[in-house]
Amino acid sequence: MSTRITAALVSLMMCAVMLSGCLQADDENKIISEELDSNNGVFVTGANGQSIDIPPLPLNFVFSNVGEDGPEPSIGITSSGCIFFIAMEKPMRSCDHGVTWENSRDFTQAPFTSDPYGWVDPVTDRVFNIHMMGLESTWIGWSDDDGESWLGNPHDSGTTPLNDHIKLATGPWVSDGYGIPGSLSPIYEEAVYFCYNKGLGIFCFTSFDGGATFELGGQIFGLATDDGGLHGAITTAPDGTVYVTPRVETPAVIFSKDNGYSWETRTMGEDVSTPNPRKNSEVATDTDSNAYHIWSGADFGVYMSRSTDSGESWEKDSIRISPIEVISTTFPQIDAGDPGRIAITYLGSENESELGALDIDEVNWTGNPHFANNNVHYHLYITYSLNALDENPIFHTVRVSDDPVQIGSICLNSGDCRDIGGSNRNLLDFNDLHIDRDGRVYVAFADGCTGTCASGNNSQPEDSRTKTGGVYYLGSGPSLYDSVGDLVEFEME
């Protein structure tokens, strides 16, 4: 990866030699090629994904190599500017804008992980480092001093253990349900939410003591047999609304307005649906508690529905975020600042869609990453919108990775991964995107194509099996907080 990508000057990622090395033909399959668009990786599009004649935003992104494996990473930034990248069992920390990284774990933290997750409370700066310990329990750790010291509880599993797909987030207390003043007397400034799935569906619990214990909660949705037992990240709004997204055929959100005491479900996106296998969708909320739900549609574009009444109602006509040139996507993540100011990241491919039959199961690849042909290249994309609440929002997209993040298919269902040259499950389930107190965007991702895979002229899927942790953050460009204006690059010491 290059250390810096400027939106207006993103270079072509594949030279003629590299392209010729990626050509493949036989009697049954059409010639397959990586055809990158003439936009040099910069797109300005409307609500249908079509290009519009508007200058791109001046978005300049900085890359940092975390130096450790980072499949399904979480990212958060404290008010001091320390970045926490949590994947595997190591809470990696950088307090110099990604120049150097260190493992901040001590003996109080999980010794291994079967599922990692991290969260930085934007109000209290508490850093959560949580890990699934097999299926028995979840080890939840936390630090209140930028990772200099940690505390933890190795048995935070709510009232029903055997948890999986763990998620945690914080949000404000409200004056209803669990948050009724004087009823349960919370001793931590923020409500802490912990959700996971098991055979019966999605379970969520609320902590009153900052994540040390979770005594109240239970099942909120679905059956695992309907994919309802798997879910995306937890999101909270300034008005206290909590959102969880189930992994289902028709896009949906589950939300609570009483700190997790009761939950309701709303659907949207019937016009674009979701693919199969499918991965997590996600909700972001802005400073006015407007909500933005994004997901990969059945045609493998990234779509969005908006709610301006705290989740009660959602638009039925889905808005396309990804450019039509990006024909395959997965791992969409989102965060928001002020109303209408959002940022999204995802993995995507611009390969031609007519790629013929796979040489394994004769399934035609129509954009599904799970069945992608060996010559499909996936890159990391970041999209901004500064008017996402408008009737005709504008999206500014940059292909930030100048070499592939993955070559070939990306396993989206751990039960039927393709094992050619090593499992294509190397990226696991998600990436992450969050903003800091200044509205600067940070993206955490796992890079499956590094070293000779990235530099080679004819790299193949078997070369693309790494999972190196990486971060892109906005070096210069508009903040997601309007009052901040344009951000400039950090001065490195």
Residues 134-185 pLDDT 10s:
777 889 999 999 999 999 988 766 666 677 889 999 999 999 888 777 666 7
Task: Using alpha carbons, select from 168, 202, 387, 220 the residue that is nearest to residue 290.
Answer: 387
Alpha helices, DSSP H only, in 200-327?
Answer: none
**């909270």: which residue's tokens?**
236
Dist CA 366 CA 356 (whole Å): 9
Strands (E) across 3-162 are located at 4-6, 42-45, 60-69, 74-77, 83-87, 90-94, 102-103, 115-120, 127-133, 137-143, 151-153
Kindly report which listed range (130-144, 303-317, 473-487) carries the lowest average pLDDT score.
Answer: 130-144
Going by the DSSP 8-state scheme, the letter that residue 159 receives in this structure is T
Residue 275 has pLDDT above 50, yes or no: yes
Tokens of 18: 């590299």
Across the chain, what does the average pLDDT equal? 87
pTM attached to this predicted model: 0.90
**225: CB partners within 8 A, 6+ apart:** none
Question: Using an 8 Å Cβ cutoff, are 49 and 84 in contact?
Answer: no
Q: For position 33, what pLDDT does the model report? A: 29
Give the β-pairing of 282-285 and 291-296. antiparallel
Mean pLDDT of the region 280-303? 97
- Give the pLDDT confidence of 77-114 residue by residue, as tens digits: 999 999 999 999 999 999 999 999 999 999 999 999 98
Single-letter amino acid, residue 394: I
CA nearest to 45, candidates 397, 351, 401: 397
**Tokens 């207390």 label which residue?**
173
The dihedral region occupied by 466, where left means phi > 0, alpha psi between -120 and 50, and beta the remainder, is beta
Higher pLDDT pick, 413 / 270: 270
Rounded to whole angstroms, the Cα distance separating 349 from 406 reads 10
Q: Which helix (H) or strand (E) holds 204?
A: strand 201-207
Query: Taking 90 as the threshold, does the pLDDT of residue 349 lie above it?
Result: yes
Q: Is the predicted pLDDT of residue 32 greater than 70, yes or no?
A: no
Tokens describing residue 117: 């997750």
What confidence score (pLDDT) does residue 278 get?
Answer: 86
Query: Within 13 Å, how many C-alpha atoms sit on residue 101's CB side?
Result: 21
3-state secondary structure of 409: coil
